[in-house]
Amino acid sequence: MSAATSANESPPGSPPPSLGTPPSLGTPTSLGTPWGLVILLGSLTAMGPLAIDMYLASLPAIGRSLHASPAQTQGTVAAFLAGMAIGQVFYGPASDRLGRRAPILLGAAIFTLASAGCALATTPEWLLVGRFVQALGACAGGVVSRAVIRDRFGHTETARMLSLMMLIMGLAPILAPLLGSALLNFGGWRLNFWFMTAFGVVVGLIALLRMTESRSEATSLQASQENPFQSYLAILRERRLIGYALSGALNGATIFTYLSSSPGLLMGTYGVSVNLFPWLFGLNAVGIIGGNQVNRFVLRWFTPDQVLARSSLVALGVGVLLALAAYSGLDGPWTILPLLFLLLSSYGFVQGNTMAGALNIDPLRAGAISALMGSVSFGAGALASLLAGVLHDGTAKPMAAVMFIALIGSAACLHGLALPRPARA
């Protein structure tokens, strides 16, 4: 047993790693990587990123087709993010109380039906509601998949499996913009939503036929003894869990800031063409996936907390360089874009490890913790995106400033709240 693994044993009362593992989807890492499970959970989690990134290039066409203003079409993005944040609050406790399968299947069904509804939209208001409901379905996959991983694995293995799952999920921000542009040119913006409908059907059917229940009896008993409010109140009392949640959310806010700022910065300020933009967008997604995979291998020698302690400071250092470049006049694309690539790559080292750390604090409330982490992340991302938009001046300064502030907060929450304090002599 490696030092990393022995230092991160699951707390007493947590289910054994092999509990509930469906033979058809593979076995725990002690017997080999369960690729079937990884691909399924990664695909379920990818519903959200797919639905966000795939139709961005279609927004002008949607506006013309539905006679919608730019504010109305942008509102469909905000509605989706709101649905992602709100829906997770309910799916988390539900998965602890009802089991993992039912919420996942319900979410896939809602996502599929809402995607079809969006494809048939004839007014901006119809599409706005459809996108909100679509997000309510999409968020189930991410919330419950993380809980399923924690059901089966300990602290360090959870971090490694989450990084591996990102390899599958991370394909969405790379391929979705390219696929969305291709479908837009081939059959119009509605074809994007018909593709999402088909995706929901396929993934939902696979989950129905191949996925078995992983929730432990101890988790079921715990959930039956408290209502969702009591569950959230219990985990909010955990100082370290709050530290992990805020650290991960503030680091993730850099991604949302980039998503909201990159179209205007790259295509508006730097003059990047519409055809080149998806490739640059995908390149940064490659950095995020690469960071996750390097993190997976580093965890063979270091604990998740050790990786977090170093990666948060590295990310903050890159944030300092980005801010200096933006405010010193060295804010050309050949300076800003490489620094953005490095900064966004840090997401791969922080997200999986903060999630694993939080889930390890109270495994019997894994669903509620996963929901809290997701909701806080989307909330912080929405605020960061809003702030970057309010400060927009056509340069890289607002983006760099928001990212720098977020990274300071992320490092402070991690080192001040989450990481275990050394014992006093």
Residues (pLDDT < 70) of the chain are 1-33, 71, 74, 167-170, 173, 223, 274, 421-425
CB 143 within 8 A of CB 374: yes
**Sequence-distant (≥ 6) Cβ neighbours of residue 271 within 8 angstroms:** none
Q: Please identify which residue in the block is written with the tokens 């002690």.
A: 30
The dihedral built from the CA positions of residue 357, 360, 361 and 364, taken in this order, carries a sign that is positive
From residue 302, give the alpha-carbon distance in Å to each of 82, 160, 248, 298.
36, 11, 19, 6
Task: Quote the CA–CA distance of 355 and 373 in Å, as a whole number.
Answer: 7
pLDDT in tens, 85-102: 888 888 878 888 788 888
pLDDT in tens, 200-244: 999 999 999 988 887 777 777 776 777 778 888 888 888 999 999
Model pLDDT, residue 330: 82
| Token pair listed for 38 | 């990884």
Model pLDDT, residue 108: 94
What is the value of pTM for the model shown? 0.72
The dihedral built from the CA positions of residue 157, 159, 165 and 167, taken in this order, carries a sign that is negative
Model pLDDT, residue 383: 81
Q: Which domains does the chain have, with CATH numbers?
A: 31-418 (1.20.1250.20)
Model pLDDT, residue 4: 40
